[in-house]
Structure 1
């Protein structure tokens, strides 16, 4: 009996060792061989860790000090991918743990990957701890993605945005009033302010009003919880490739799960109250001025159109995840766009003056309105140029689930595809010698003319998975920029430290040391 048990134990141990060897050595080395055979160059495979440690150390070193004041920011934001492309070419690979990550920059290849006509390129399955941050529409695949997209789409139609404008305006009025009070208490209406935390508060307030119609305090709490969760996630990021890490009883993991429970309870209460307000409202209009109400309305209609089958609709857990995504995507993306617009217009006063002249000619001293916002051509050009130079999400990734042709390449299954948005946006071959200069004129005739109809500008993604909230973000940014320009001129403070910063693909592009700006009341 003891011999049998010993034999069985030896067999199990051998099998586990065999599987581990396949995972950490045989499969990566075979994938590496396959890529090199096709002329793709890259970093040599390092067992288990790949390039994770070098990526982290290179990023930490690059972001340890501010940079000179310029829009040439790729060396600080994505130092490791930039170095790899410079050494190994625009199609090259690195190692995300045991998985090869093939980087592509050619617009035609980017188009193939992001259009995903063959359904071979899928979103990378997020680690369970990453899903605590948000696991909504942006993370889903297949039928679940299609269902959620169909249900969420009506809430983001352009005409629906019109009913959101009063809420956006109310938040912007409060923001400008706060700035004006600072001007009154200062000498000659001039004062200095780190606008980054104030812009974050503004976008939290806007998403609270437009998404949920909830109180600012509730919205602020959701933002605080998700911010804390993102910081903890950043700490554990280098260890996520370890099997079963989510079960490790570390302080960070325990705290993340605790925050998730509080976040879900808070959002569930908001959703239940919204459902009750819909049920108590006979004419069904009270809920149609916020995104959550519109989505719940669309969900209910979707269920009714399918013989009241709840299987075709979203559950309350699904709605909670979409609400988390509202905040993490809606707040972060617009905050990033607004702060870099403020910095860029401070660096380029001639464009600030042109934008102000346009705003004043359209609105004078009156509050901006929905129809007028669509006529802000110069402001629109400026926002596009800021999105080109400072895209909120600096890198998009996909996973290749089966062997597929990509251009002249044949990619085996098990490969990650990386599209470095910021590097494509700064590519001189695509944008000319002034690629790293602020030149909104390039968008004077629209995106198609600026890109020569190539997929070289995609700050909100591209293809069927393009960000559903991009129109909302642009309207929000136009309103805020227009109102600031109406009331103030502004410039960078001598204390401003230029330090664009991205925490390993987890956060939107942010100013690491804030954005200190001097305002002058007009």
Structure 2
């Protein structure tokens, strides 16, 4: 019994000690820290037993997750960090809140942030409270401190010097070209294609980091990336839970899954390392990141290794994740901003074409892309991959005049600071790349205010790698494609350690061959080309109809990739299509001299009819004739377009439009929304309008050659129809008294002498709704209308032949007209 009592007493003492410590940790310490902060003027939300401020954080984040933004609204703080937005407004830029029983000091003052990030004495180490983060990133360069960090940095740093990074641009471009080749193959099936860019950029950046840092392909590292993606979501799911140190040893469901994934990642990375070690005798360790780490792991002459094998695996985990995840989101948000700011898309494309042409960008060319660099920096400011960073107080210390206890977490809200008007000006919430025109340090009122890659000695070692990769990919996209945001996109950024679009980024891509011609002309405005500059005849060759699309694209490609010595010339220059000189005139005064000429000087160089297919398309009508022929045609056509007659046509235009919209309303009756391809519908509409407008004027006798007594001879359709040997109308037939001359003639030509105009009009209106129905009814109605239209054409041709032979039908009230 004595032993039992002793055991029970020991257990009771342990429990009492645990209870006392818990009481101190969960009640007395938070109370004392809160009083200390309040005495210094630092306030914050009230501490709640055990959970601290986590309950309110979860509630506010839950409300924010249901919010969506307009694409022009870049303030996602209410969705991602609503608690920080609320508390900064209530308590100022420095305040304290609680994650469990642990104090968090939010530091949103730029000067205080600088004190933390530029420290070189180890006063603010990394926060390693969450064990899942360690499983995801490993204890590599990102999470180590002190001497361990210096040792890792010394090994890794040579892999990221600028000379090596420039050499990596070839690999980056090859990976990007492979991705874009897939897009072009999809575009070959149609003029535009919708692609979800967020996932494509993740694959691209994973491929790049695999090749450049580890000498492997994306397929080899794919399982590593997939496992790390799951670890990322597992880690983030624990961010707003109370962190109890003992829980990381318990076999909970999340812990078991985390341990399994971590084991898989380490095994896959070890396989990559073993492959490199097996090739050491023939190819050496290599000069990429993995090669440098392996060399540091196995030094010669019995020296102490700078890195152990476990540390190499941790560094691989760090760079596999950080090397692709952050860059992919930079590219994602850059593409989003390009699509929502087409004026900047044009400016960047012009710069890329000026500095890189159609060639793959080189390292030196990328350095000249100032606008692209400004654009990416502004993207990082508004949509930085990481929205906050954390450190902890290594001891009791003074932070911006506030005494902070040891162990307190220091939270730096990057996204909030990047939108602070006192730092960036009144336009802090706007997309404005011009702010970086004079560099990063002069973009804001405070230097080093851009914190996307952190700042100070612990800033991201891979920031130059990420910027070069982003520049290369953006430049290659702009060379080949136009970006337009898909209507399916929903603007809802979310924070899962890194910032990403909640619903992906569906983007409409279009090829840029026609635009490339435009940009070459923009380029030529400032350049002068010799006769050998262009060997392809653009008008008579490139645009010549071909039996295969590939031939057409091939000719365009030849035209776009020419190279020739050029010198500056100004706004008027000569270039060559084959052996024919072309003078490009972009000076407005010179253009006016050409277009306003009435003396025939411009006509002495008539409309360019080098391409016979253009004549086949338009005919030698008003557009392509010159001189006296043009005057004769103009005299015939002009009366049809005076304002009184155009006003009368509005009823016909409205009828045709109403018919088209009736069809849309019939489709909408099946549901609340319908997708319609408008381009082809508007082509049908305008064709319908011009057809009915011409017919209506023909019925009224308002269009044609003037007769001797002012009576019109319909004749506009002569320019579009071939002569038809239709039967001539007897000239001695009399006109019914209740019909106008033009209408009577129309009735006789058709053989419907008793069909009054009102009935004809009703029949015409009945035909139009029929065309709005599907199937055979529409085809039949169109066929009837076309037949009626054809009869009108034949009648007009008959009248014209009579006019040319000085013969006019008496029932039209016409007299002979000389031709």
Question: 1:381 is matched with which residue?
Answer: 374
Worse overlay, 421-430 or 446-455: 446-455
Q: Distance in 1 between matches of 2:154 and 2:236?
A: 32
List alignment gaps of at least 5 residues for structure 1.
none
Worse overlay, 447-456 or 358-367: 447-456
Find the residue that maps to 1:154 and give its secondary structure: helix
Matched, 1:326 2:319: yes
Q: Distance in 1 between matches of 2:8 and 2:129?
A: 39
Q: Distance in 2 between matches of 1:414 and 1:215?
A: 42
Query: Deviation string for 1:109-137 (max 9, x for gaps)?
Result: 11101112342111112433321111211
Report 1:95-244 matches (<5 A). 95-135=98-138, 136-186=140-190, 189-239=191-241, 241-244=243-246
Report 1:361-376 matches (<5 A). 361-376=354-369
Q: CA deviation at 1:360?
A: 0.5
List alignment gaps of at least 5 residues for structure 2.
513-819
Worse overlay, 127-136 or 494-503: 127-136
8 Å contact kept, 2:485–2:507: yes
Structure number, greater radius of gyration: 2
Q: Distance in 1 between matches of 2:180 and 2:5?
A: 80
Q: Distance in 2 between matches of 1:276 and 1:164?
A: 24
Worse overlay, 411-420 or 316-325: 411-420
Q: CA deviation at 1:171?
A: 0.5
Find the residue that maps to 1:450 and give its secondary structure: coil
* Cα separation, partners in 2 of 1:332 and 1:23, compared to 1, 3 Å: same
Report 1:394-433 matches (<5 A). 394-433=387-426
Q: CA deviation at 1:332?
A: 0.8
Q: Distance in 1 between matches of 2:117 and 2:51?
A: 28
Find the residue that maps to 2:25 and give its secondary structure: helix
Question: 2:427 is matched with which residue?
Answer: 434
Q: In angstroms, what is the RMSD of aligned CA positions?
A: 1.6
Higher RCO (CA 8 Å, separation ≥ 6 residues): 1
8 Å contact kept, 1:127–1:240: no
Q: Distance in 1 between matches of 2:224 and 2:469?
A: 20
Question: 1:251 is matched with which residue?
Answer: 253
Q: Distance in 2 between matches of 1:50 and 1:67?
A: 30
Question: 1:510 is matched with which residue?
Answer: 500
Find the residue that maps to 1:448 and give its secondary structure: coil
Q: Distance in 1 between matches of 2:208 and 2:478?
A: 19
Q: Distance in 1 between matches of 2:463 and 2:399?
A: 28
User: Which of the residues 12, 27, 36 maps onto 2:14?
Assistant: 12
User: Which of the residues 56, 59, 62 maps onto 2:61?
Assistant: 59
Count of aligned positions:
508
Question: 2:290 is matched with which residue?
Answer: 292
Report 1:459-498 matches (<5 A). 459-498=452-491
Question: 1:317 is matched with which residue?
Answer: 310
Query: Deviation string for 1:122-157 (max 9, x for gaps)?
Result: 111243332111121110011111100111111111
Q: Distance in 1 between matches of 2:213 and 2:247?
A: 34
Find the residue that maps to 1:514 and give its secondary structure: coil
Q: Distance in 2 between matches of 1:77 and 1:375?
A: 35
Q: Distance in 1 between matches of 2:297 and 2:309?
A: 11
8 Å contact kept, 2:54–2:241: no
User: Which of the residues 75, 78, 82 maps onto 2:78?
Assistant: 75
Matched, 1:346 2:339: yes
Worse overlay, 227-236 or 382-391: 227-236
Find the residue that maps to 2:443 and give its secondary structure: helix
User: Which of the residues 26, 39, 42 maps onto 2:44?
Assistant: 42
Please, what TM-score do these two structures have when normalized by structure 2? Answer: 0.61
Q: CA deviation at 1:509?
A: 0.6
8 Å contact kept, 2:197–2:504: yes
8 Å contact kept, 1:110–1:455: no
Q: Distance in 2 between matches of 1:399 and 1:474?
A: 29
Q: CA deviation at 1:384?
A: 0.2
